[in-house]
Chain A
């Protein structure tokens, strides 16, 4: 009984885990921290009462919200902030290298621009452009009104586009 319950959970969780990983990585901007955060969230989900877990309309929306809250808590704690800052410094390519990346790998450039956005904009871009959630789903995950999500999304789309074209023109 226990074993089959576990298997059902694992099947259910497999896709959600990838999603959680992508979202936590976007918020924490660190591969390692995102891996840890994903594991933590999955464990928390598993430890939850099965009846309660199955009672949720969408375990996915619930887990994504959980992951988001977990990440924001991590960011709030000073320790995590120092860690991600260090990692960013270590990973930051040198100027000439940066230029090379800009010219050869524009996909990296897009990812880099998104990662430099403020937390909320970063999350909205991830949830809409990559995970392709509906506005009402994003609103419930981020606990913001739909209108606000649209305003943020519009602003961020324009901002990313402007930054991208600026860097490209600069390179040429």
Chain B
């Protein structure tokens, strides 16, 4: 590229009068030219930066790793849940007969106790019957 052309383009560039096409010429020149005049080296820094900045993209890796962690966590949680439920079911089936025996024993004990209580209570009621009788006689006397 002829230096004179670049010089004219640079002047236009600084005035905000270059078209996108002309700016592409400048871009190519400053990013590729080997023998850059010393007074223009700073332009290279700018065009290099613009070229680099254009390539920056949204950090999708971040989202992906987040969702990956989330799926792992979900998988782990569901596995734990399944293991927990099956262990629970296993122990329940194992312990059922034992628990049933215990419950029956407790029920029988309870029945025995209740019969005892009932017997004593009936005895008490018989005694109270005398009270009634006594009550009646005193009523007669008062009258």
Contact = CB atoms under 8 A, between A and B. Distances in A.
Interface of A: 17-18, 20-22, 25, 35, 38, 106-107, 109-111, 129-132, 134, 149-154, 157-158, 160-161, 164-165, 168
Given A150-B16, A154-B16, A109 B50 contact: no
Contacts of B56: 18, 21-22, 25
A136 to B, nearest CB: 11
B129 to A, nearest CB: 85
B50 A18 contact: no
Nearest to B15: A154
Contacts, number: 62
Interface of B: 13-17, 20, 23, 42-43, 45-46, 48-50, 52-54, 56-59, 62
A161 B48 contact: no
B46 A110 contact: yes
A157 B16 contact: yes
Contacts of B54: 22, 130-132
B58 A132 contact: no
A164 B46 contact: yes
Nearest to A26: B53
Residue from A20, A22, A25 whose CB has the most chain B CB atoms within 10 Å? A22
Contact of A111 (B13, B14, B42, B53): B53
Nearest first, the 3 closest Cβ-Cβ pairs linking A and B are A154-B16, A110-B49, A150-B16
B46 A160 contact: yes
14 contacts: A20-B58, A21-B58, A22-B54, A35-B58, A106-B45, A109-B45, A110-B48, A111-B53, A132-B20, A134-B20, A154-B15, A157-B16, A160-B46, A161-B42
Contacts of A131: 54
Given A107-B52, A154-B15, A35 B42 contact: no
Contacts of A154: 14-17
